[in-house]
Structure 1
Amino acid sequence: MDDLVKRYMPVETIEIRGTENEGGSTTRTIGGYVVKFNQRSHLIWGEFYERVAKGAFARSLQENTIKAFWNHRSDFVLGSTKNGTLRLSEDDIGLAFELDLPNNTWGNDAYESIQRGDVDGVSFGFYVRSDSWQYLKDEDVYERTLLDVNLFEVSPTPFAAYPDSEVNQRSLEQLGITTKEQRKHEKEKILLEIDLLAIG
């Protein structure tokens, strides 16, 4: 599946701290978790839940240069793993991050918005390398587990938790996954055929 996916996770808190450097300037650092492992998302599209498996980011952390953007905007770069201004690591809880904000307009805006609590979440952009799907019969929904993702960016963002994924309907159909609406329609069709057989 080659579709771009973005996920938002509300975080309990984005930590903010300042470190004074030689010469009197201050490095403003934010940190927390981009996502916690094996925690179920909100219902996406009203059709499936999602979890991230431990180790899903391991390959990306070894191979990729990952950027931090302000609200997914690639023209507003907040940091990069290449120069160490963005630091990412997997632990037993999830994907942890530390980000040294730049001393520029969007860095200052990000700092102010996070400090005020206007921005209280972190989103991540990725492509799926490997995942698994399970149908939960009792809930009549699917649950997806992300096993290996190609992570390329993380973003502090104010948007609501787990907005609709940019993985599209075509992708779900390619996987042979039916939606509730499709299953309802199929059930109605079968019941109609049974009624017609009974009349005949």
Structure 2
Amino acid sequence: MFDIRADTDKENKFYISGRPIVYESKTNLGFCDEVIRSGALDDADLSDVRFLVNHNTNMIPLARFRKGDKNSTMQLQIDNKGLPIRLDLDVENNTEAKALYSAVQRGDISGMSFMFTIDADEWENLDSEHPTRYITKIGQVLEVSAVTFPAYESTEISARDKRALDEARKAISKNSEDAELEKLKLKYLMGV
């Protein structure tokens, strides 16, 4: 599902490339499945994205993409499969970058993840024990990470999704006649 690798280029610069966001790939979050739909990134805010390890926002970013800044240490662009990235690592002056490069090269870290906001989504099978959420529009990508366990559980969005799922079920079961109206309201509110 996710792809990450370590390599050097012609100038012997150390870099990592990968794909932290993959379209049309189902992920089991435990309480529901989640799928990022093709095109969900089309209008997303990618103006300032950091690269971290394991979503640790307390650490210094190992790279950063800033739209319009040709000196950014990370490059990214949306394609038909999701979001591929490439970042240059300063392994000579940053021991954390050197450790990450080594871990990726050895295959000890082989996954990626991301932190994001949602502008639009759709739910399927909300009345089941394990519904599916389709994210149709991502609002902003805040950071991408190399992760030890490539799943969405460590991102802030998962915890918020679980509460939203519980609220959706309560609203629908409260009044079955208004279930469709409640689903539409939920669809609107979940993207906020």
TM range (shorter): 0.7 to 0.9
Q: Name the structure with the higher strand share.
A: 1
List aligned pairs for 1:17-28, cutoff 5 A: 17-21=7-11, 26-28=12-14
Measure how far apart 1:168 and its partner are.
Answer: 5.1
Match of 2:41 in 1: 57
For normalisation by structure 2, the TM-score amounts to 0.73
Matched residue pairs, number? 160
Match of 2:54 in 1: 71
Check whether the contact 2:62–2:89 (CA below 8 A) recurs between aligned residues. Answer: yes
Check whether the contact 1:31–1:99 (CA below 8 A) recurs between aligned residues. Answer: yes
Q: CA RMSD in A?
A: 2.3
List aligned pairs for 1:19-58, cutoff 5 A: 19-21=9-11, 26-42=12-28, 44-45=29-30, 47-58=31-42
Distance in 2 separating the partners of 1:57 and 1:71: 22
Measure how far apart 1:140 and its partner are.
Answer: 5.0
Measure how far apart 1:169 and its partner are.
Answer: 3.7
Greater Rg over alpha carbons, structure: 1
Quick one: percent identity of the two aligned structures?
26
Return closer, same or farther for 1:84/1:58 CA change in 2, 3 Å cut-off: farther
**DSSP 3-state at the match of 1:60:** coil
2:65 equivalent to 1:81: yes
Check whether the contact 1:34–1:122 (CA below 8 A) recurs between aligned residues. Answer: yes
2:144 equivalent to 1:154: yes
Check whether the contact 2:5–2:110 (CA below 8 A) recurs between aligned residues. Answer: no
2:85 equivalent to 1:102: no
Match of 1:142 in 2: 131
Measure how far apart 1:157 and its partner are.
Answer: 0.8
Distance in 1 separating the partners of 2:131 and 2:85: 30
Distance in 1 separating the partners of 2:113 and 2:60: 15
For normalisation by structure 1, the TM-score amounts to 0.70
Structure 2 portions without partners, runs of 5+: 174-192
**DSSP 3-state at the match of 2:135:** strand
Structure 1 portions without partners, runs of 5+: 1-9, 184-200
Distance in 2 separating the partners of 1:177 and 1:53: 23
Distance in 2 separating the partners of 1:161 and 1:170: 18
**Which structure has the higher relative contact order (CA within 8 Å, separation 6+)?**
1
Residues 138-159 of structure 1, C-alpha deviation per residue, up to 9 Å, x if partnerless? x753111111222110000112
Distance in 1 separating the partners of 2:77 and 2:89: 18
Distance in 1 separating the partners of 2:14 and 2:118: 32
